[in-house]
Amino acid sequence: MAKQKDNYLDYVPKHNSLFECRENKKGHVEVKVHNKGIFNRIAQLIARKPRYSYIELDDFGTFVWHSIDGVRSIYDIGQLVKEHFGDKAEPLYERLCYFIKLLHKNQFIVYMNKMNK
């Protein structure tokens, strides 16, 4: 029997509790990232680089971030994005999947219904 492939749109993302976030004055979400590691530590000491950075999301990213609740699937989030942004969100699922994968790669989110993905 052939192994069935998972549909990425069925994944359910959730914010990673290890990262704090806040809204800035423009209403955009900023995710707080701790600059760890030996090279960052040297840069902090020598070049006075900050210990924390804030990654600001644009309007699209902020809307998606607020839509991530640990219950909605990526498909469901896409439907909300389509309702809110209309044609400006196209190509919708290519763009959304790329953004969600980027959040996951940077460990800002985890998947609730998929292990080791």
Backbone angles phi, psi at 64, to 5 degrees: -65, -45
Greater pLDDT, 30 or 4 = 30
Residue with tokens 């990232």: 33
What's residue 116's pLDDT? 46
pLDDT, one tens digit per residue, over 24-80 is 999 999 999 887 778 767 776 787 777 788 999 999 999 999 999 999 999 999 999
- pTM reported for the whole predicted model: 0.82
**Please, is 103 exposed, middle or buried when counting C-beta atoms within 10 Å of its C-beta (0-12, 13-18, 19+)?**
buried
Domains of the chain: 10-111 (3.90.930)
* Residue the block writes with tokens 């900023």: 30
